[in-house]
Structure 1
């Protein structure tokens, strides 16, 4: 056995981008507990503890990823063209967005002026990475030499696209803490553009995915949890458009943008769109729940984190609808959804910890392509020598 397949080197070589889904799931739990409609001081401090844990996970994941591609640059080339692993690159900006949101909720009120602009700078980086992944990764799929059969498609295709929707919602939260109305206006307008990039693209992918589900059987048990992923753009899209509308209602009059009542129009339209997206989310929640119930038994893997983030953002959308309408029904339902997500997070976290200690989760499918490439090069060299 090679030295690269044991010890810390094995962990580094097999540390795929899908590990940042752990950051996404942990981040959404901290946000839910921090903004729960029926909250308390003890829940606030639990959310802060999970927030700190999430920062540590994000930092550790970033350092291991950097080490992976510095020590083994050839892995990046096979990873970026892999039909599945490359799509998980979208989990990096989405995980970062959850940290930015909690930073605005917790650190900005405590640390003051500089923290506001630090959050703004982090959001700019996150928005850039989101657009980069949302545009480049679908094009890489289009430009592959091999044809991709429809039956092999999963909802993982949504991951790089949803990053723009998540960045848009994060932009609304950042705009609320910026002291300069003009800076807040720029952030709001950029966030609407990000929302416009992500939601239509996500809708197109969901149409293709719905066709794949109707023409072919349900996804394999190993990736069955991915049927929850369509809840991500719908839940986060609904939450984001409401937050953007609320920010526009405040900022547009201060900056004399459009007409005096335009901010209210954006706010009302945001709630209407969010209701429609929330209703569409119920459809996918039923399909996903029915698929899991029919499958019953499926193996644990990192894909189980597909439970937490989509359900988490759908719960956030539900709670936000309860605040804006206002509606006790949505507030209670959002609280129930949030508690379910927290329970799922605990279960998946324990499974991940167990799998990490045993080493079972450190598997990188893209490395098989690297071995095949080395074998092909070896044969080619042998042929030329002959």
Structure 2
């Protein structure tokens, strides 16, 4: 092997040979972190079905949830492998160099945690309790570390390094800072499996701290994003679906506070139960208002020829967080209105997932050919 060949990234040394050249290896570098949104969207279909009021315990719903969890897990493994090949083959491609790509670094940790959480729910009959718990613990830990790193790094670079103007802001800026909120939401499911006392209390308060990290960061970014919409004109057509990303921190935070109340140690029960309602109900109400606004923008975009892009996956996971938020509020209150909202939102989620899958499958051959 020549010195020039040795200087190439590992996989490119092999793909230089015409016999071993493969189009998937060549195209692997095009799979950016935004592709993890497809894993997130698939996993939330499973997780939403598992908690759906009046449905989640049905036999057919369990089979449905298991199928989607398995699909999400397979997608996570396949995409992680493809991304690894891509990074080796295109070693000079660094997502942090481009702010429009860097913001999507929030997607991989959320995908890890969504699949991990599903292992304790929909995936447990397939894996068994012990393996399901171990998988969730590993993926939650990896996702939490990754998510906090992504949130801090991208925020720092937006403030100190990237040359961006208000007109460049988009709802995609929320992605890295929502990742700690996902940690806060899904971490409480591990609390009952920890030793009582210090371990459980520490885990709960760590999740509350991550709730605060994400919430304050979101509240810091939202005025900039709305100012961009109000003063710089509408988003480009390809970014219109990203308006649904605003639902992510809203629905996820509502789910988080209901999870705190459901899984927190008994000594915190009264405070957390009251906070779940005082915070969750008004924020869920605003989520429904924003859903109507983003939905109207989507209808307008479709009428004006909005093209398909991977941004269409923004119609899935954020809506799914509203499903779990409504289900959590129903569990706290027993009000049928929240059950109806959860079922209606889940129907919207499944419809959006089906459209996104079909359109992604149709565009994939062109994407692989470059």
Tell whether the structures are fold-level matches, with TM greater than 0.5: yes
Q: 1:240 Cα deviation (Å)?
A: 0.6
Report how many residues are paired. 348
The Cα offsets for residues 228-272 of structure 1, whole Å up to 9 and x where unpaired, read as 111000000011111112222xx143xxxxxxxx42112211221
Q: Is residue 2:189 matched to residue 1:173?
A: yes
Choose the corresponding residue for 1:91, options 69, 94, 107.
Answer: 107
Which residues of structure 2 form unaligned runs of 5+?
1-11
- Gaps spanning 5+ residues in structure 1: where? 254-261, 364-386
Q: Secondary structure at the match of 1:73?
A: coil
Aligned residue number for residue 209 of structure 2: 193
Asked if residue 334 in structure 1 is aligned to residue 351 in structure 2, the reply is: no
Query: Helix, strand or coil: the match of 1:84?
Result: helix
Contact 1:242 1:270 in 2 (8 A): yes
Map of 2:297 onto structure 1: 291
1:62 aligns with 2:70: no
- Partner of 2:99, secondary structure, is coil
Instruction: Give matches, 1:1-386, under 5 Å.
Output: 7-39=23-55, 40-76=58-94, 79-108=95-124, 111-113=128-130, 115-144=132-161, 146=163, 148-178=164-194, 180=196, 182-248=198-264, 251-253=265-267, 262-295=268-301, 296=303, 297-356=305-364, 358-360=365-367
Note the C-alpha offset of 1:46. 1.2
SS in structure 2 at match of 1:37: coil
CA distance in 1, matches of 2:177, 2:227: 19
User: Offset of 1:221 from its aligned partner?
Assistant: 0.4
Task: State the 1:176 CA deviation.
Answer: 3.6
Q: What is the CA–CA distance in structure 2 between the aligned matches of 1:55 and 1:201, rounded to whole Å?
A: 29
Residues 1:362 and 1:316: Cα distance change in structure 2 (over 3 Å)? farther
* Aligned-partner SS, 1:28: helix
Looking at structure 1, the residues matched to 146 and 195 of structure 2 have their Cα atoms a distance apart, in angstroms, of 25
Q: Please report the RMSD computed on the Cα atoms of aligned residues, expressed in angstroms.
A: 2.1
Distance 1:283 1:208, change over 3 A: farther
User: Residues 224 and 263 from structure 1, CA distance in 2 versus in 1: closer, same or farther, beyond 3 angstroms?
Assistant: same
Post-superposition offset of 1:9: 3.2
SS at match of 1:275: helix
| Contact 2:33-2:104 within 8 A present in 1 as well | yes
Deviation at 1:126, TM superposition (A): 1.6
Deviations 1:27-61 (CA, angstroms, capped at 9, x unpaired): 11111112211212111111101111111100111
Deviation of 1:324 after TM superposition, in Å, equals 0.9
How many Å apart are 1:125 and its aligned residue? 1.8
Distance in 2 between residues matched to 1:58 and 1:362, nearest whole Å: 22
Cα deviation code 1:165-184 (max 9, x no counterpart): 01110101222444655433
Stretch deviating more after TM superposition (220-229 or 4-13) = 4-13
String of CA shifts for 1:135-176, please: whole Å, max 9, x gaps.
111111222253x12112110000000001011101012224
What is the CA–CA distance in structure 2 between the aligned matches of 1:263 and 1:112, rounded to whole Å? 26
The alignment's TM-score, normalised by the length of structure 2, stands at 0.88
Q: Aligned with 2:367: secondary structure?
A: coil
CA contact (8 A) 1:14 1:362 kept: no
TM-score by length of 1: 0.85
